[in-house]
């Protein structure tokens, strides 16, 4: 059993490292395209921004976790992870540009309801896409 563990540690490290890099890339891209500055707002104690970014990140991480368990290779996982990222970006775009054009400003103003809504929708769509990514 111990030898199996030792043999699989590199596999774990490779997938975890790739997933961590994918997560950092997603978060970087996400905060660059949103009109408000989540990390600055969170540093200031803005709960709306914290909830929004956490929910969105979980909406990205859940499908990536499912894909890791079912992918055939790291490139396969990275491609499906990119799909998860694009879905999260699309969710924010639809909410902030089509449904509630002032929601980004509301998050900046610390409207927790707005943060919960955006984060919750991101998480909900993440769970749905995770279910769709299982063969």
Q: Where are the domains of the chain?
A: 14-132
Q: What is the pTM of this model?
A: 0.93
The chain-wide mean pLDDT, for the chain, equals: 96
The yes-or-no verdict on residue 74 having pLDDT over 90 is: yes
Give Cβ neighbours of residue 87 (< 8 Å, ≥ 6 apart). Answer: 59, 63, 125, 126, 129
Q: What is the largest CA-CA distance in the chain?
A: 56
The pLDDT of residue 135: 73
């Amino acid at each position: 059993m111990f030898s199996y563990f030792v043999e699989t540690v590199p596999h774990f490290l490779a997938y975890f490292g790739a997933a961590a890099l994918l997560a950092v890339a997603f978060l970087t891209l996400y905060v660059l395209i949103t009109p408000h500055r989540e990390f600055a707002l969170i540093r200031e104690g803005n709960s709306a921004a914290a909830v929004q970014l956490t929910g969105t990140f979980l909406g990205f991480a859940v499908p990536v976790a499912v894909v890791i368990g079912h992918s055939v290779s790291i490139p396969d996982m990275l491609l499906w992870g990119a799909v998860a990222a694009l879905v999260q970006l699309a969710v924010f775009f639809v909410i902030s540009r089509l449904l509630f054009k002032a929601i980004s400003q509301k998050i900046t103003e610390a409207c927790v309801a707005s943060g919960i809504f955006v984060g919750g929708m991101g998480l909900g769509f993440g769970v749905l896409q995770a279910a769709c990514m299982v063969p």
